[in-house]
Amino acid sequence: MSTSELKRLHPHQRHPHDAVIVTVRRALGRTVADVAAVEVIADFPLPVPAALRAAETMRQENGLNRIAVIVDDGDWKPEWGLLVD
């Protein structure tokens, strides 16, 4: 999986322990994302591109293997990266 490929998780799917989890959602008419990991609780929602940058920083700082994205169909833009199942 390259850095532009992101593991896609579906809502209610088990979260991997070796990944930063980015949860994409709609809030007040905007698409935003929360960033969390096993030992890190999500803070405030961010625009998706900023959340992905924060996730990469968190991945590197915590020695995690990947970034996984929880997103409903239709809420993902291709310019944010390639989602792989």
For residue 82, being part of any structural domain is answered with no
Residue 78 DSSP one-character state: G
Task: Give the residue numbers spanning the domain of 73.
Answer: 5-77
Residue 51 pLDDT > 80? yes
pLDDT attached to residue 53: 95
Strands (DSSP E) contained in 1-85 are 5-9, 19-27, 30-36, 46-47, 66-70, 82-84
For residue 26, being part of any structural domain is answered with yes
**Helical H runs in 9-47?**
none
What percentage of the chain reaches a pLDDT higher than 70?
95
For residue 62, being part of any structural domain is answered with yes
- Give the other-Cβ count within 10 Å of 32's Cβ: 18
For residue 84, being part of any structural domain is answered with no
- Going 26 to 80 to 19 to 35, the CA torsion angle's sign is negative
Residue 69 pLDDT > 90? yes
Question: How big is the chain, counted in residues?
Answer: 85
Residue 2 pLDDT > 50? no
Domains in the chain: how many in total? Answer: 1
